[in-house]
Structure 1
Amino acid sequence: MIAENTLPVTNTSVLIVEDDKIVSFTLKRQLETQGFIVHQAFKGDAVDRMVIRHTPDCILLDIGLPNINGYDVCVKLREYYKGPIIFLTGNDTDDAELKGLQIGADDFIAKSRSFKVILARITRLLEAKHTESDANKSFHLGALNFNKHLHLCEFDNEEIALTNDEFELLYYLLIHKDSIVSRDQVYQTLKGISYNGVSRGMDVSISRLKAKLVRAGISPDVIKTVRSKGYRLSTQSLIEAKL
C-alpha cells in the first residue's frame, strides 16, 4: 500500500463501475486518499447517466456487470466519451484483454494487481489523454460557449440561464450533436427510466430548452423533433448564428 497523499490531485474525477460493493468502496477510499473525486456506478445501465452528470476524467470498468456487461458499456461510451477507459476485472484471460482493447479501452488491469500499480496506470493515462478528456467537457460552436466543468453556457458572450436539468439535457444533445437520439435514450440516460410511450414530459423539456436558446439569438432549427424517432441538435444552426 502506498503512503497517503503522495499524489495530490485537484478536481480529477474517476468513475468506478463495479457491482461488488466491497471492491468498489475499497477502491474509492484508496483513490480518495490520493486526492481524486470518486463516483460510483453498480450496474451497466447506470453508466451513461453518471457520465453525463459528473463527466469523469477516467472510468474504471468491470466486465461482469448487471443489466449491461462492461464490453457493451465500453462500445456505447466510445460513441462520445474521449477520456481513458480502463477495464479493471477479475477476468484476466488473454481473450478478455484482447477484446477489451479492440473495442476501445485504453488499458486492461487484473483486480489482483496492487493499488500502487492501478494508480500508476490511471495517472499515466490521465497525463497522456488530458486534452482528449477535456474535449468531453466543453464545446465552442460558432458563438456558443458551453463548459460542463464550469457549468457555463454562453451565446455571443451572454450567459443563458439554464436549470440543472436543462443544462444536462443540452450537454447530452451536444455530445450526440447532428445525430438523432430517441426519447428512450434520453429518458434512460437522464432519468434512469424507460420511456413509457405516452409521456410528453421530455417534449416539454426540449421545448423549454429550445425557447431559451432561441431567445438568446439561436435559430429555431437548433433542436428538431424528428417524428417517431427523437431529437437532433444541429451544429450548423449554431455555427451560422450571429454571422
Structure 2
Amino acid sequence: MKKILLIDDDEALCELLTEYLVGEGFTVESVHTGPEGISRSAAEPWDAIVLDVMLPGMNGFDVLKQIQTQGSAPVLMLTARGDDTDTVLGLELGADDYVAKPCSPRVLVARLRNLFRRMQDEPAVLNPHQVGDLGYDRQNRRVTVGERDVALTGAEFNLLVLLLEHAGELVSKEVLAKQGLGRALQAYDRRIETHMAQIRKKLGPLPDGSPRIKTVRGAGYQYLVSQ
C-alpha cells in the first residue's frame, strides 16, 4: 500500500480525504500543523505528502522547504482555487503537483496515482548518460554539471530528461506536459514555464556562457549543445 502523509489544519477535510483514500487502497496519516508535518515527514519514508498552503502559524511553503531537506517523497500542494500566486510559488519551491481547494477526493486520488505512474513508468537505466558537461542517471534520478550535484524536483527531472534525450531538437510544450507532467497541456497553464525557469537557474549556463535551454516562443524548448 502507498503511504500518504496529509498535512492540513481542516480536521473535517482530513477525515473526508482519509476515508476516501483508504477506500482506494492507500494508507493515510494526517497531522494538522506545520511542525507536526515536518516531524512526521522525517520520522519514516512516505510515498507522497499532501500539503495545504494555508496552515496556521507556519505556512505550507515554509513546511515544504523543510520537508525537501529531509527526503525525496513527491509533494502535492493544496492551493486556493484561482490563486496562481500560490500555485507558481509552490512549484518554484519544489512541489510536484497541486490541487485547488475545495478539494475533490476523486481528483486528489487521480493526481496521486498520476505521480506514482510517472515514477514507475520510467525505464531503469544502469549507466549514467552524458550530454556535454551534464550527466544524468535515470535510475538514481541524479543530475550533475561538471563535478556539481544538482538537486531537482521530480517534475523538473522528468522535463530535463525529455530535453536531454532530444538534445539539439525542439520538444513541444504538448510533449513536455504529457510525458513530463503526466497530463495534457491546458490553456493559460504556466507550470512548464515555471519549472523551466527553475531548471535554468539550478543548472546555470553552458561552459561557454551561453544558455542551456532555448525557448522557442509558442512552440516549446530546446536543450542546446556547445559547439
TM-score by length of 2: 0.50
Say whether the 8 Å CA contact 1:43–1:66 is kept in structure 2: yes
1:91 to partner: Cα distance: 5.2
Residue 104 (structure 2) aligned to one of 82, 107, 114: 114
Residue 44 (structure 1) aligned to one of 31, 34, 39: 34
Say whether the 8 Å CA contact 1:45–1:67 is kept in structure 2: no
1:128 to partner: Cα distance: 2.0
Structure 1 CA distance, aligned partners of 2:70 and 2:20?
28
Structure 2 CA distance, aligned partners of 1:91 and 1:64?
12
Q: Quick one: which amino acid aligns to residue 123 of structure 1?
A: R
Say whether the 8 Å CA contact 1:92–1:109 is kept in structure 2: no
Give the match for residue 28 of structure 1.
18
Q: Which has the larger radius of gyration?
A: 1
Secondary structure of 2:4's counterpart equals strand
Residue 5 (structure 2) aligned to one of 9, 15, 28: 15
Structure 2 CA distance, aligned partners of 1:55 and 1:28?
18
Structure 1 stretches lacking a partner, 5+ long: 1-10, 133-243
Identity %, equivalent residues? 30
Residue 87 (structure 1) aligned to one of 63, 77, 94: 77
Residue 67 (structure 2) aligned to one of 67, 77, 90: 77
Q: Quick one: which amino acid aligns to residue 46 of structure 1?
A: E
Structure 1 CA distance, aligned partners of 2:42 and 2:104?
30
1:130 to partner: Cα distance: 5.1
Structure 1 CA distance, aligned partners of 2:89 and 2:42?
26
Tell which has more relative contact order, 1 or 2 (C-alpha 8 A, sep 6+): 1
Once the two structures are overlaid, the 10-residue window that deviates more, 40-49 or 27-36, is 40-49
Query: Which segments of structure 1 move beyond 4 Å, counting only runs of 4 or more?
Result: none
Structure 2 stretches lacking a partner, 5+ long: 123-227
Once the two structures are overlaid, the 10-residue window that deviates more, 114-123 or 20-29, is 114-123
Structure 1 residues 113 and 67: alpha-carbon distance in aligned structure 2, compared to 1, 3 A threshold: closer
Structure 2 CA distance, aligned partners of 1:67 and 1:129?
33
1:67 to partner: Cα distance: 2.8
Aligned length: 122
Structure 1 residues 44 and 113: alpha-carbon distance in aligned structure 2, compared to 1, 3 A threshold: closer
Say whether the 8 Å CA contact 1:44–1:70 is kept in structure 2: yes
Q: Deviations over 1:136-176 (max 9, x none)?
A: xxxxxxxxxxxxxxxxxxxxxxxxxxxxxxxxxxxxxxxxx
Structure 1 residues 22 and 113: alpha-carbon distance in aligned structure 2, compared to 1, 3 A threshold: closer
Structure 1 CA distance, aligned partners of 2:60 and 2:72?
17
Q: Quick one: which amino acid aligns to residue 80 of structure 1?
A: Q
Q: Quick one: which amino acid aligns to residue 119 of structure 1?
A: V
Q: Quick one: which amino acid aligns to residue 66 of structure 1?
A: P
1:89 to partner: Cα distance: 2.8
Superposition RMSD in Å? 2.0
Structure 1 residues 60 and 92: alpha-carbon distance in aligned structure 2, compared to 1, 3 A threshold: farther
Structure 2 CA distance, aligned partners of 1:63 and 1:130?
27
Structure 2 CA distance, aligned partners of 1:130 and 1:76?
26
Q: Quick one: which amino acid aligns to residue 13 of structure 2?
A: V
1:114 to partner: Cα distance: 2.6
Structure 1 CA distance, aligned partners of 2:82 and 2:62?
18
Structure 1 CA distance, aligned partners of 2:100 and 2:44?
26
